[in-house]
Amino acid sequence: MDLGQIIFRIMGLVLIGVALTIGTIMLLLIVSLNGGFYYVSFIIVAAIVLFSIIMLMMFQFFTTKKRKQVVGVLAVITLLIAFITPFKELYKNQIPTVDAEVDVYQYMPFTEKNHVVKMEHEASVQLQEPLPIIDGATAFYPLYAAFAEAIYPKKDYQPYESEVMVNKTPTAYRNLIEGNVDLIFALAPSEQQINSAKANGVELQLTPIGKEAFVFFVNAKNKIDGLTLDQIKAIYAGEITNWSQVGGKDEAIRAFQRPQDSGSQTALQNLMGDKPIMEAPTENIAQGMGGIIEEVSKYRNYNNAIGYTFRYYSNEMVKNDEIKLLEVDGIAPTVDMIRSEAYPITNEFYIVTTQNSNPQVQKIIDWVTSSEGQQLLEQAGYVPINATKGP
């Protein structure tokens, strides 16, 4: 091979390298923007392997069968090693998540064939404009949508922009504190939410209206049917790390958590008291123009996983038969056990207001806590606040 041929092939190799680099960068951007950043290393390695093979071909390296076989085996091994991370991600993604988003539109007030519980007669209270603006946690939307359909005038109430909205707990509290809504249906605020209210000169006023069970769940195939309160605390403190320590299989426990200031995460913090909670498992999430952030991992229904939520959300809204709710201290989170407060993690939930609320808010509170409102609450599948307390 003379010098001219060498120069020609080097120039060709440079052009191929530039084209391959541009194509790789474009592919990396597309993959990253679509959340596939786990494939970045594989794509880069694949591009390098491809370029190396092209270079060897251009310089006539493959003159023998043995050379072709050696390079082929090395290329395959390299690609397989690079594919380990994407393979793990593919395996993880085929495991279903439990915290599936609920279609809130099926509970939208005054819509045809919605899932909202109806009163048999007209409510004794009927509100007029200007209507108080309601927001709240997803788990309570079926309830306050039923209240709205009973005492609000009939019209269009879009879930995300109307007088009857639904947001996750952190957004609902933020809307209330900032004065964007008049009342919310939620669990007790977190310490951060209380501090945020104080910083904004707002006093949060909590009116208990019902009871709910804070529940823990595992994969339906997990042989564990219940845990003690102390065992749950030890798991989330990182002291119990294997199911064999509580009578299960010899498998590491995957203890999922929820985002900060969510209703269920606040419930976990209250349950743990002074016992520190171990760091939540996180995963990298692509955001915006390829930026990567860390978020709390969604619950995936691994055989060795444990997570938590509230009974109504799990049983009535998500209805996932791939999980099972655990007994706590030998008591199942049934309506009767919540009613009597025999279930050890029974929480009150509230109408939360501020001193700046619409004057008609008190009418709502009075009606919801009346026998009429409490009866509708029970018909909707929740446990009334005035239920008879057990021994």
Environment class of 323 (CB within 10 Å of its CB; exposed 0-12, middle 13-18, buried 19+): buried
Q: Higher pLDDT residue, 284 or 104?
A: 104
Range with lowest mean pLDDT among 78-92, 248-262, 296-310: 296-310
Q: Are 176 and 195 in contact (CB under 8 A)?
A: no
What tens digit of pLDDT does each residue of 40-60 get? 889 999 999 999 999 998 888
Closest among 308, 376, 391 to 347, alpha carbons compared: 308
pLDDT of residue 390: 38
Distances (CA, A) of 338 to 247, 312, 387: 26, 11, 9
What tens digit of pLDDT does each residue of 212-257 get? 999 998 988 899 999 999 999 999 999 999 999 999 999 999 898 8
Kindly state the average pLDDT of the residues 64-87.
91
Confidence grade of residue 388 (pLDDT, cut at 50, 70, 90)? very low
Kindly state the average pLDDT of the residues 173-187.
95
Give the predicted TM-score (pTM) of the model.
0.70
CA angle 386, 387, 388 (to 5 degrees): 115
CA angle 278, 280, 283 (to 5 degrees): 150
What tens digit of pLDDT does each residue of 310-337 get? 887 666 645 567 788 899 999 999 989 9
Quote the DSSP letter at residue 80: H
pLDDT of residue 34: 74
Strands (E), 228-361: 254-255, 282-287, 291-296, 305-310, 323-325, 327-328, 346-353
